[in-house]
Chains A and B, each alone.
Chain A
Amino acid sequence: MENLVEIRDLKVEATTDTGRRIEIIKGIDLDIAQGEIVALIGESGSGKTTIALTLMGHTRPGCRISGGSVRIAGKDMVTLTERERASIRGTEVAYVPQSAAAAFNPAKRIIDQVIEVTRIHRLMPPEAARRKAVELFRALSLPDPEHIGNRYPHQVSGGQLQRLSAAMALIGDPNLVIFDEPTTALDVTTQIEVLRAFKSVMKQGGIAGVYVSHDLAVVAQIADRIVVLRGGEVQEVGTTADILGHAQHPYTRELLAAFEPKPRGEDKAAAEREPLLEVSGLLAGYGPIQADGLPLVRAVQEASLTVEKGRNLGIIGESGCGKSTLARAIAGILPASSGHIIFNGRELERSARQRSRDQLRELQIVFQYADTALNPEKSIEEIIGRPLAFYHGMKGRTRDARIDELLDMVHLPKTLRQRRPAELSGGQKQRVNFARALAAEPKLILCDEITSALDTVVATAVIDLLKELQRELSLSYIFISHDLSVVEAICDEIVVMYGGRKVEGITPAQLKAPQHPYSKLLFSSVPKLDPGWLDALELDPDLVKTYGQH
């Protein structure tokens, strides 16, 4: 028994509400050696989290392990009793969840939650546990390790909280740590810090890890071996270098292809350009109006930008930089406090309520989470059909025909018409979300992080779709994202935002050489497929100090 983890012919099945059983993991074999980090990679629904959870003998409600064995240091997690599993969880196997913010109890101090594991398993006295926690905080390069534990979860940033949840997992000296997409919700600049901290702690302690992710570039930095999953089956296993260099399986190649820069269509000559949207000196924010007539919290200040007909503008920046607020101000959802929005040659009212129906029709907004942007109680047909009826007065058969056309445009089968959003996959929902905007026949579509909730391959497909539609319908997009590669792929011009202000406007040609220091930091923080990238990366410490307060 050399391997720490030996999974043999693991099967997990789920029971649906009609009592039908579906096999979601179809016989997986997997070994993890002592101190090895193995990445499970695959699209959503491929079973990567389900496999990771079986390592703790756990399945989600409605699922059960139906066959095979999961041996950790000789003990089979499948056959152990719940009590025996509980004694192993936290001491031998630990889990770092995707959303640390949801995993911490907001009413308790962080330190008490971090050392809870030692209390439950009676590993050491609280004082010793506290000292150990502080050591871990230091090892994870958290600021002010002596005192950060005394804060409450809302008083630290997302990246810090994610590292604190890793400390919580590590305090019981586990042999195996499961990371479930721990950096997916973080900004690129923050992600680097967190990845570095994870990597150094794991290497120092010789701890084995399972890293679940759909981001190949991130996985390349931290994993020794990569397991590619699809549909509950292992597609390909290999060392990181092997997978990146000589991928065999088509799905792995698809994943890799998503990273290759795509050639862009020919740019129109400057003379033919006509401005479609001009925003100048826009200020928008939240909170009560102050004496100077401006809101208390100013999320966007003095934003100016221009979008030309048939061209795309990208807005990029970390979370909280005001990029979504800017989009909402342009769409009139959050009326701007000052500034001008000129659309198609005419000044727009600041509030959507005062804009004419035609102005609203020509400027559509598509939101990040298709789950909340589509009414769960309506069928796809009703969702897409409403703008047709509302703006174009379409009824009966003409409307039905148009719905079919729109579904066709976004590459969705007509059979989906009667379904509800919950019965669609993430990528399909985002397509419906987009089809609804198209139904209005707009001139400009504001895309607010529309690919952020999708995995790489699906996101690439959505971006390709957007480009295709642009060619056919002569649309313009404003593309808001924190993901540089996405913006790069589709935009003719990129605006970098920081702290509510536009810091730089750049064209893709200049991408390699941004001028503003924040742009430099942002652009250099985007993970590359090269496994040595993270170790070789040197960020200017002054820059990180100024802009990366995480």
Chain B
Amino acid sequence: MALSNTLASKFGYRFNWVGLIGLSIILFWGVIALIAPHIIPHPVGEIVDEDYFGPISSRFWLGSDYLGRDMLSRVLMGARYTVGISLAAVCIACFSGVVLGMAAAVSGGWFDTALSRFLDALNSIPSKLSGLVVVAAVGSSIDVLIVTLAVIYTPGAYRFARALAVNINTMDYITVARTRGEGIFYLIGSEILPNITGPVLADLGIRFVFIVLLLSGLSFLGLGVQPPYADWGALVHENVGGLPFGAPAVIVPSLAIASLTISVNLLIDNLPKKIRDRSA
């Protein structure tokens, strides 16, 4: 509470502790993703344990996987792929979706109609299926994964942003700006965007979770990150055989996915709020 109070008095924003927990978990995984190669105790591809699905021990903090590789190293390296790919993809998807959505709402007419129908068509293709097709056609690489995931989630972001922007577009201050002769970039950047930031960020959080899950799904099917590297979804997939033994190798990456997705949503739902009563 002490931290949130100092934040409150300094910037005029209040940040509650639930949001702080979310933020710190995300930052934790972000830092791990950056420094993973330097801190992993064993190389990811090396078989270091004689046993497979080894238990938690002082040598292997998180046990070993189905081939006897060190799970801790694999989870830490997996953070790179899960956080990095998903974050890049969600940023591209939301940026293009929101910009196109606002532009469509503001300009209306044929531009809006054509773009909406095109993206609706894109949206109607099941996401896993289109991911499968693209990866099967051009092969799996990190760039391809990012672009594919971004394209799959752009139509949703577009729909969402357009629906919000259409409401804002009817406000009088937009009419005032139009009669002033403002161009479309000013309208979407300065008049509309500040008013939809909150919901757009919430949408970004949900979409991030979807992308993490879809990426995990693709990896589960063997189409995501290729061995010996693995993202968390792939880790769950390859170790799913350890489930009957209660092996940490399958539980730990699942917990990692859960911790990241849940904390993103905790943060988005508890973004710092501006304090309106500043006379105190």
A interface, CB within 8 angstroms of B? 16-18, 20, 331-333, 352, 355, 357, 360-361, 364-365, 367, 369, 372-378, 386-387, 390-391, 422-423, 436, 440
> What are some 10 contacts across the A-B interface (CB < 8 A)?
A17-B276, A20-B277, A360-B181, A372-B173, A373-B173, A374-B173, A375-B191, A375-B195, A377-B197, A390-B181
Name the A residues within 8 Å of B136 (CB-CB).
none
Given contacts A377-B195, A422-B276, contact A390 B180 (CB under 8 A): yes
The contact string, 1 if C-beta is below 8 Å from chain A, for chain B 184-202, is 0000001100110100000
What's the minimum C-beta distance from A282 to chain B, rounded to whole angstroms? 17
Cβ–Cβ contact B280 & A333, under 8 A: no
A473 to B142, CA, bound (A): 64
Cβ–Cβ contact A387 & B175, under 8 A: no
Name the B residues within 8 Å of A377 (CB-CB).
194-195, 197
A353 to B179, CA, bound (A): 8
Given contacts A20-B277, A367-B172, A373-B172, contact A333 B179 (CB under 8 A): yes
Cβ–Cβ contact A436 & B172, under 8 A: no
Cβ–Cβ contact A375 & B173, under 8 A: yes
Among B181, B182, B194, B276, chain A packs the most CB atoms within 10 A around the CB of: B181
The contact string, 1 if C-beta is below 8 Å from chain A, for chain B 250-280, is 0000000000000000000000010111011
8 nearest A-B pairs in the assembled complex, by CB-CB distance: A377-B194, A16-B277, A373-B172, A367-B172, A372-B172, A20-B280, A375-B173, A360-B181
By beta carbon, the residue of chain B nearest A446 is B179
Cβ–Cβ contact A331 & B195, under 8 A: no
Within 8 A of A (CB), among B137-157: none
User: Is B171 engaged at the interface, CB distance under 8 Å to the other chain?
Assistant: yes
Within 8 A of A (CB), among B89-117: none
Given contacts A372-B173, A374-B173, A377-B195, contact A357 B181 (CB under 8 A): yes
By beta carbon, the residue of chain B nearest A376 is B195
Among B177, B180, B280, chain A packs the most CB atoms within 10 A around the CB of: B180
User: Is B176 engaged at the interface, CB distance under 8 Å to the other chain?
Assistant: yes
Known pairs A352-B178, A361-B180. 8 more at Cβ < 8 A? Answer: A17-B14, A17-B273, A18-B14, A333-B178, A364-B179, A365-B179, A367-B175, A373-B176
Name the A residues within 8 Å of B172 (CB-CB).
367, 369, 372-373
Name the A residues within 8 Å of B181 (CB-CB).
352, 355, 357, 360, 390
B interface, CB within 8 angstroms of A? 8, 14, 171-173, 175-182, 190-191, 194-195, 197, 273, 275-277, 279-280
Name the B residues within 8 Å of A436 (CB-CB).
176
A391 to B180, CA, bound (A): 9
Name the A residues within 8 Å of B194 (CB-CB).
375, 377-378
What's the minimum C-beta distance from B16 to chain A, rounded to whole angstroms? 12
A436 to B279, CA, bound (A): 27
Name the A residues within 8 Å of B175 (CB-CB).
333, 367
A369 to B170, CA, bound (A): 13
What's the minimum C-beta distance from B84 to chain A, rounded to whole angstroms? 32
A18 to B273, CA, bound (A): 11
What's the minimum C-beta distance from A243 to chain B, rounded to whole angstroms? 34
What's the minimum C-beta distance from B103 to chain A, rounded to whole angstroms? 16
By beta carbon, the residue of chain B nearest A334 is B175
Cβ–Cβ contact A365 & B276, under 8 A: no
By beta carbon, the residue of chain B nearest A368 is B172
Cβ–Cβ contact A365 & B176, under 8 A: yes
Name the B residues within 8 Å of A16 (CB-CB).
276-277, 280
A358 to B171, CA, bound (A): 24
What's the minimum C-beta distance from A185 to chain B, rounded to whole angstroms? 18
By beta carbon, the residue of chain A nearest B273 is A17
What's the minimum C-beta distance from A255 to chain B, rounded to whole angstroms? 28
What's the minimum C-beta distance from A24 to chain B, rounded to whole angstroms? 13
What's the minimum C-beta distance from B4 to chain A, rounded to whole angstroms? 12
Name the A residues within 8 Å of B279 (CB-CB).
20
What's the minimum C-beta distance from A251 to chain B, rounded to whole angstroms? 24
Cβ–Cβ contact B275 & A390, under 8 A: no
What's the minimum C-beta distance from B273 to chain A, rounded to whole angstroms? 8
Partner among B14, B182, B273, B276 whose Cβ is within 8 Å of the Cβ of A423: B276
What's the minimum C-beta distance from A359 to chain B, rounded to whole angstroms? 9
Cβ–Cβ contact A367 & B176, under 8 A: yes
By beta carbon, the residue of chain B nearest A363 is B179
By beta carbon, the residue of chain B nearest A423 is B276
By beta carbon, the residue of chain B nearest A377 is B194
Cβ–Cβ contact B179 & A332, under 8 A: yes
Cβ–Cβ contact A17 & B275, under 8 A: yes
Partner among B173, B178, B179, B277 whose Cβ is within 8 Å of the Cβ of A17: B277
Name the A residues within 8 Å of B8 (CB-CB).
18
By beta carbon, the residue of chain B nearest A390 is B180
Cβ–Cβ contact B179 & A352, under 8 A: yes
Partner among B178, B180, B280 whose Cβ is within 8 Å of the Cβ of A387: B180
A378 to B173, CA, bound (A): 11
Name the A residues within 8 Å of B277 (CB-CB).
16-18, 20
Name the A residues within 8 Å of B195 (CB-CB).
375-377
Among B177, B190, B277, B279, chain A packs the most CB atoms within 10 A around the CB of: B277
By beta carbon, the residue of chain A nearest B174 is A375
A360 to B176, CA, bound (A): 11
By beta carbon, the residue of chain B nearest A331 is B179
A18 to B264, CA, bound (A): 26
By beta carbon, the residue of chain A nearest B198 is A377
A134 to B26, CA, bound (A): 64
Among B171, B176, B279, chain A packs the most CB atoms within 10 A around the CB of: B176
What's the minimum C-beta distance from B108 to chain A, rounded to whole angstroms? 12
A386 to B182, CA, bound (A): 10
By beta carbon, the residue of chain A nearest B193 is A377
Given contacts A16-B277, A17-B275, contact A360 B179 (CB under 8 A): yes
A108 to B177, CA, bound (A): 39
Name the A residues within 8 Å of B182 (CB-CB).
390
A422 to B195, CA, bound (A): 13
Cβ–Cβ contact A440 & B180, under 8 A: yes
By beta carbon, the residue of chain B nearest A328 is B175
A194 to B177, CA, bound (A): 39
Cβ–Cβ contact A372 & B171, under 8 A: yes
A404 to B139, CA, bound (A): 62
Name the A residues within 8 Å of B171 (CB-CB).
372-373, 375
Name the B residues within 8 Å of A333 (CB-CB).
175, 178-179
A211 to B249, CA, bound (A): 72
